[in-house]
Chains A and B, each alone.
Chain A
Amino acid sequence: MSRGLDRARAALIALLTATAAGSLLMILAGAAPAAVWRALVASALGDGYGVGQVLFRATPLVFTGLAVAVPRRAGLFNIGGEGQLATGALAAAVVAAGLPADVSGWVAVPAALVAAMAGGGMLGAITGALRVCRGTHEVVVAILLNFIVAGVMLWLGNRWLFVGEATRTATIVDGATLPSLGLAGSSASVSVVGAVLAAGVVAWVFARTTVGFTWRAVGTGRAAARAAGLPVRRAQISAMAVGGALAGLAGAHFVLGHKHAFETGLGRGAGFVGVAVALLAQGDALAMIASALVFAILAQGGLGVAATVPKEMFDVLQAVVMLVVAASLGRRARR
């Protein structure tokens, strides 16, 4: 139980430090922190639209947070969320636009989701396989893949997929769209439910299944897991593949629930924020939802006060949260 308390305390310290760091940045920008924080929260949570946008922003973060958390439990770091998200988004868009116009949602949505998971999962699996079979550092590989994927997407789009003058693919069929929640004109869609579901499934997998146990065992003691006959390599590759698939789902969220097409730059940054989300939640799948909401509030509220404080404050605070959690986890490990 004390572990749970330790985690909660680390998260709390991270949030307090982020608040202090944010205040400092606001002072640097010549603004009064108290007023800015109030405006920020009001803009994020003050009305239906704000709340809807927070939910909309939190949805992909739950997925990208899980995309980091699952491999991390198995001892690998998935920093490839950006590329996996983009690949998933493009795959979902291409499949969902290629279906017959009158296809049922019960076929179209699963087909697009599977495409998104396959696209992201493939990148994750490549990263994991290179790590396991060639010993290459998964962080370096994933970053390089992020750059490569961005270029390849642009090339594929310009060459074949983009319609007209825009850097945008054809609109997906109606059946594949996820209905909006209709929250005061916000972008929130039913993909919110998908995110909650995904977090629940991941929590269940870790608590109850053999795969989840194998991942955990490999993550806490690779050598011991190997000596016990667990399939260490397969577990690490599959954890990265599942991580990639989850990031791919974040891409599907943007395509099916929001833009109804793939666009260059769609969901950019959500992959990296996922790292911070996962760290703040410290691997706990259910805490991921709360953690995603915190970052969504910061991002949404940050837009509301962008006139006084540059919106990049969000990126800095995200790094601060990561650093503080890393420091408190390190201290705990040393005790």
Chain B
Amino acid sequence: MWIGSNWGKVAAGAIALLVVAYAVVIWHNGELGGKSTYAELQGIEVQHRSTPLTDIVALAENTEIGLVIGVPTDDQLFPNAWIAASTTKPDGSLYEVISPKAHLRISCPRVRAFFSDPTGASVARSVRDQVTRQCTEVQDHGS
């Protein structure tokens, strides 16, 4: 029978290989691959929600995803945004836990100063660039 033939075995092997390749690609590039990072950031958000930030800060305590930065937002219910500082999503966007209605509320001079100090300078360049694009040139209201 065809299934028992050498060609059948080759076809079965190829299909298995494709399934494994799909799983690997999905795991690294799809939604599933980012869930553990988001879970870490959600935990930090819950832990710090009752303490609104007034400045950009770095949290080095998280051993799972490395350095995390916190930024004040304009949302009173969810006053802090938390961003993975060492990595970005496969599409280059930020891993960040932030209210969907919120915007970062931080002045550009403060962001530039933060990224100039030794801790801030260790943040991945793409993360620095994206946070810097969201700062405001006027003095932020919280500081």
Q: Do A and B come from one complex?
A: no
| B interface residues (Cβ-Cβ under 8 A, vs A) | none
